[in-house]
Amino acid sequence: MSGLQLVSMWHDPGTRALRLNHNLHRFARMSTAQPLKKLVSGVVLDLDGTLLNTDGIVSEILKAFLVKYGKQWDGREALKIAGKTPFESAAVIVEDYGLPCATEEFISEITPMFSNQWCKIKALPGANRLIKHMRRHEVPVALASNSPKENIETKISYHQGWKESFSVIIGGDEVRNGKPSPEIFLEAANRLKIESSNLLVIEDSLPGVTAGKAAGMEVVAVPSLPKQNHLYNSADEVINSLLDLRPEKWGLPPFQDWIKGTLPIEPWHIGGPVIKGFGRGSKVLGIPTANLSTEEFSDLLLEHPSGVYFGWAGLSARGIYKMVMSIGWNPYFDNKEKTMEPWLLHKFNEDFYGEELRLIILGYIRPEANFPSLESLIAKIHEDGEIAEKALDLPLYAKYRDDPYLKMS
Ligand code: ADP
Ligand code: RBF
Ligand code: MG
């Protein structure tokens, strides 16, 4: 196919939707392991909190701004403003904090603060992968956000290949009512030339989920705030992060980057002295986990979705070991803090509290889960250990064993 043909086809979502329809049953047959949901032929994506980690920037700016009024930013407000239009969010903050200004004044003061920060907003884990995957497979994708179109364009301009990957981009200023009204999604369907019921919405916020269902679309929720999943029961599926999205459940082309039960991720490093944890790893589970302080790494912890990861661990003066770890709130124990707990896949004869531990995290295995019994939790963790053990022998992961970071040189 010539480049020109490819381009013109790319700009006619209707044609691609048709062709994709022919493939639907093929993909559906491939997904024997997953229960099949309703088949779709296109995707509508939300931007803030779904593809972009906007929440961190919003919190930072509001924190700095409220100090001027002698108020303290309360993280819980984040839930109230998620998915709202900029005006609605501003009104909520002015009211809740009793600010001595009109919503319009608040907006004009805070808008320049946001404009300076847009270039710093990072893509959420799995966002780039999702966008590139849909593009490679020519799945029509619309971007539909409550933000004004101009802001959307600016925000996505910092992310290579994004703009070209959306056949349609709709801002909140292009419809009369933003989400939770279905208007913005119906307009997306219109411009994609695909029936609403053949579209899959991916959304992090409650207003977004409501809008998607009201538009008659299938909706996958990816809540951006922790421990809120129970609020999302109107969604067709709730996933923990984009890493857990299985497009084949909806008849879309499956991701092909999973290897032996693992998903390679952009490697990241973390290290520090081993500290005391909850004191139940060895005692309750028979699985000791070497906890690291989370204080210094709160950004890294926020950045990475909770779940089970693996990689290599270096212990000063001892050696380098395979490692599998959990990040999150341990739903079985319902912890109040997000923690990081690596289990080194090696039998040690003594504890090593206080020793310097360095980790390179290379891949993802699964989201955190709750379990009906302690035995089933333990069995699952052992299964994770076996997956990590085997995967780390693959050249793709094995090569990091020699990383100087682990040797502390
Ligand atoms: P805590 O709640 O303090 O983390 P655990 O019962 O989880 O207690 O035990 C963890 C400690 O056990 C680690 O800090 C480390 O000193 C020791 N340990 C021994 N073997 C291992 C291992 N294979 N992986 C991780 N930690 C281990
Ligand atoms: N706790 C959970 O509640 N759910 C999980 O899915 C879960 N997965 C884990 C996976 C691994 C590889 C490890 C090492 C731990 C996991 N845990 C999980 C955490 C476990 O509950 C924790 O290590 C103990 O509570 C000790 O603090
Ligand atoms: Mg522990």
CA distance 363 to 244: 13
Asked if residue 196 has pLDDT above 50, the reply is: yes
- pLDDT digit string (tens) for 159-178? 999 999 999 999 999 999 99
Task: Give ∠ CA 181-183-185 in degrees, rounded to 5.
Answer: 105
Q: What is the pLDDT of residue 20?
A: 53
Asked if residue 374 has pLDDT above 90, the reply is: yes
The neighbouring-strand residues paired with 219 are 201
Better-predicted residue by pLDDT, 162 or 88? 162
Q: What is the pLDDT of residue 23?
A: 53
The pLDDT confidence band at residue 13, using thresholds 50, 70 and 90, is: very low
Q: What is the pLDDT of residue 27?
A: 53
- DSSP codes, 93-117: HHHHTT-SS-HHHHHHHHHHHHHTT
CA distance 8 to 308: 42
Six-digit token pair at 325? 């770890």
Superfamily of domain 263-407: Riboflavin kinase-like (2.40.30.30)
Q: What is the pLDDT of residue 213?
A: 98
Tell me the Cα Rg of the chain.
Answer: 23
Contact 167, 13 (CB under 8 A): yes
For residue 310, how far is its CA from the centre of ligand 2 (angstroms)? 13
For residue 369, how far is its CA from the centre of ligand 1 (angstroms)? 21
Q: What is the pLDDT of residue 280?
A: 81
Asked if residue 82 has pLDDT above 80, the reply is: no
CA distance 266 to 36: 30
Which of 276, 282, 312, 318 has most ligand 1 atoms within 8 Å of its beta carbon, as the pocket-test mutant? 282
Q: What is the pLDDT of residue 68?
A: 85
Q: What is the pLDDT of residue 62?
A: 87
For residue 94, how far is its CA from the centre of ligand 1 (angstroms)? 47
**Domains 55-120 and 263-407 belong to one CATH topology:** no
Q: What is the mean pLDDT of residues 50-58?
A: 89
Q: What is the pLDDT of residue 263?
A: 98
Q: What is the mean pLDDT of residues 42-60?
A: 91
The pLDDT confidence band at residue 4, using thresholds 50, 70 and 90, is: very low
The percentage of residues in the chain with a pLDDT greater than 70, rounded to a whole number, is 91
- DSSP codes, 374-387: HHHHHHHHHHHHHH
CA distance 170 to 199: 15
Q: What is the mean pLDDT of residues 225-231?
A: 83
Q: What is the pLDDT of residue 81?
A: 83
For the domain spanning 55-120, the CATH number is 1.10.150
CA distance 141 to 201: 10
Instruction: Give the residue extent of every domain in the chain.
Output: 3-51+124-250, 55-120, 263-407
- pLDDT digit string (tens) for 105-131? 999 988 888 888 889 999 999 999 999
Q: What is the pLDDT of residue 184?
A: 98
CA distance 169 to 35: 31
Start-to-end C-alpha separation, the chain: 52
pTM of the model: 0.88
Mean pLDDT of the chain: 89
CA distance 78 to 81: 5
Q: Is the dihedral of CA 150, 156, 160, 162 positive or negative?
A: negative
Provide the CA 76 distance to its chain's centre, in angstroms: 19
CA distance 164 to 162: 6
The pLDDT confidence band at residue 327, using thresholds 50, 70 and 90, is: very high
Q: What is the pLDDT of residue 33?
A: 53
Contact 368, 279 (CB under 8 A): no
Six-digit token pair at 283? 């005692």
* Ligand showing the shortest atom-to-Cα distance for residue 322: 1
Q: If you classify domain 3-51+124-250 with CATH, what class do you get? A: alpha beta
Backbone angles phi, psi at 26, to 5 degrees: -65, -50
- pLDDT digit string (tens) for 280-302? 878 788 999 999 987 777 788 88
Which H or E element spans position 187?
helix 183-192
Which protein residue's CA is at the shortest distance from atom 9 of ligand 2?
Answer: 326
Q: What is the pLDDT of residue 38?
A: 82
Q: What is the pLDDT of residue 12?
A: 45
Which of 283, 322, 330 has most ligand 2 atoms within 8 Å of its beta carbon, as the pocket-test mutant? 330
CA distances from 343 to 32, 200, 269, 376, 380 (A): 32, 38, 16, 17, 13
Provide the CA 376 distance to its chain's centre, in angstroms: 26
**Is any atom of ligand 1 closer than 6 Å to the C-beta of 278?**
yes
